[in-house]
A and B are shown apart, each in its own frame.
Chain A
Amino acid sequence: MPHDDEILVRAADLRKSYGEHEAVRGVDFEIRRGEAFGFLGANGAGKSTTMRMIGCVSQPTGGELEVFGRDPHTQGAEIRARLGVVPQDNTLDGMLTVFENLVVYAGYFGIKKKVAKVKAAELLEFVQLSSRAKDQVSELSGGMQRRLAIARSLINEPELVILDEPTTGLDPQARHLVWERLFQLKHRGVSILLTTHYMDEAEQLCDRLVVMDEGRIIASGSPRELIDTHVTKEVVELRFGPAHTTELAELALTLNGIGAQIEALPDKILVYTDDADDTNAALEARKIHPTSVLARRATLEDVFLRLTGRALVEDEA
């Protein structure tokens, strides 16, 4: 098969099952050099499994997968030599200091110690951890550990960096710091592949993304394309005090005809509309008075909701 050097990862009908359970049920996608590609989906959608297969630590049970034009099954070590991986749980080495984590990891890629030390210092600078070089990993905050894991993934100058939920479990400030660094990477032309269940993350970082649900890809495109294709321009969120879910469903019926579509969630009602002012006027006309009304632009969250009928991150504060 001729290999297009611009395509880093190519999957065709890729599958993975664990016994009876099918985690990935036939997905197709291509990741091109230089782009930031995202897998968006709820927990258990099959994102991480797909990432593990690309990272050559999990063997597909069906379909085709090529990374850098190579077969992960027979050429796993060669592929991993060109990848940078940031796993969800960091897998930092708790017995080593921050600096040692980078230098020792470089050793796994056969990078000479002298070179490794220079690179490690540079990378710590890049992720703003230079002052913590001598600390034990356990002394770092969650955000710092994630940044260290990102620095570690860059030690071999990878052609593609894989990040599995890079900001899950971080506080807002730490998330923004990680995003900012990933922007920098993108700017340098590093190809990025990430999974996330945060819509804002996907919207900000990804050039292209696929939405996964129950092991399948249910939509793909750029964030803007997805929003344009699947939802209206704006969304009006209505809250009705302490109303229960069943009451909200009944209330939703009285809204019939307002906006393009109505969606009743456990805590609020969403009205999809192309013009929020029209919607507000229509509510006024029907004498419906929610305790709060919030008009906003449609986001990927709404896309996901429309496509699956479920909120992406449940119980998310």
Chain B
Amino acid sequence: MSVIAYGAARASLKSSGALLNRNWVAMRRAWILIISGAVESLLFLFAFGFGVGALVGDITLPDGTTISYTAYVAPAILANAAMMGVLAETSINVFAKFKWMKVYDGILATPLRPWDVALGEVWWALIRGGTYIAAFVVVMGAFGLLDSWWSLLAVPACVFIALAFAGIGLTLATLFRDWPDFDWMNAVVFAMFLFGGTFTPVEAYPAFAQPIVYIMPLYHGIELVRGLSLGQLGPMMFVHIAYLMALCLAGMWIAQKRLAKALYK
């Protein structure tokens, strides 16, 4: 009865769950598409971790420790995988649902509110990002790139990256006007991948470039995941987590504001 529906209107967690359910039902037929997304990051791991890694051999870090280049690069590509999975889901897919398919127009005629939509999309993005992360960690383990139990903490660390980029992606989805804007997003993302400390220590960069790197969200994600998977813990990790969480919350807040503005007209 409608009384039941009325009572449910207040439960935000439940409401965002309804959106999660929508995405699940919509995508379960296309699961192969989502799963195969994990392949992309693995290809980069094989090409740069193993292929180029064999050319480099060992690398000496600024603190003097020496490790194999493969072990150095792998956590960074894992961080990248967490970013890519979530960003594809929140930015491009949300944009399509928002501007093209008008899915949210229908949803906002129900008791769901913009916050519920934003939250539901973040849950879903975390699930997708999570599958990528899990697949990647399994492969890392199979190739002996996880050398301590600490390294399993890389998984929760990736969740912080996923959250940050879920917020960023949602905001971009509401800001972008048309598809060419995504070309530019991909350009920035790729630049972060190449220069966010993935392949070489940031300390080796020219001095003027270093502050730019410190702004990149991916850099903080890479440092966090790499520190954990190499068992090098430090207080800076809290800074990385705080920065990523701040991006997540700010992104979600801006996104639901802009969704409300565009749809409650």
Chain A interface residues (CB < 8 Å from chain B): 18, 52, 55, 57-59, 76-78, 80-83, 85, 87, 89-96, 100, 103-105, 107-111, 156-159
Contacts and interface: CB of A to CB of B under 8 A. Distances in A.
Given A57-B264, A58-B265, A80-B110, A93 B5 contact: no
B109 A110 contact: no
From DSSP, what is the main secondary structure of chain A's interface residues?
Answer: loop
Interface in B167-223: none
A108 B2 contact: no
A108 B15 contact: yes
Interface stretch (B19-27, B55-63, B127-135): B19-27
A94 B8 CA distance: 26
Contacts of B106: 87, 90-93, 105
Nearest to A113: B21
B103 A108 contact: no
What 4 A-B pairs have minimum CB-CB distances, sorted nearest first?
A110-B8, A91-B106, A108-B110, A107-B18
A91 B109 contact: yes
A142 to B, nearest CB: 16
Given A78-B6, A91-B105, A108 B265 contact: no
B242 interface: no
B26 A96 contact: yes
A105 B5 contact: no
B101 A93 contact: yes
Contacts of A108: 15, 18-19, 22, 107, 110-112
B26 A110 contact: no
B93 to A, nearest CB: 10
A154 to B, nearest CB: 11
Given A91-B103, A95-B26, A104-B21, A80 B109 contact: yes
A110 B7 contact: yes
A77 B8 CA distance: 10
A87 B105 CA distance: 9
Contacts of B101: 93-95
Given A55-B109, A57-B264, A100-B25, A110 B103 contact: no
Interface in B65-112: 101-103, 105-112
Contacts of A92: 106
Given A82-B2, A91-B105, A104 B113 contact: no
Given A77-B9, A95-B26, A109-B8, A85 B18 contact: no
Given A111-B8, A158-B2, 6 more contacts: A55-B109, A81-B6, A93-B103, A95-B101, A95-B103, A96-B22
Given A92-B106, A107-B21, A58 B264 contact: yes
Interface string B109-122: 11111000000000
Contacts of A103: 25
Contacts of B1: 157
B2 A110 contact: no
A136 to B, nearest CB: 10
A108 B4 CA distance: 12
A81 B109 contact: no
A111 B111 contact: no
A110 B18 contact: yes
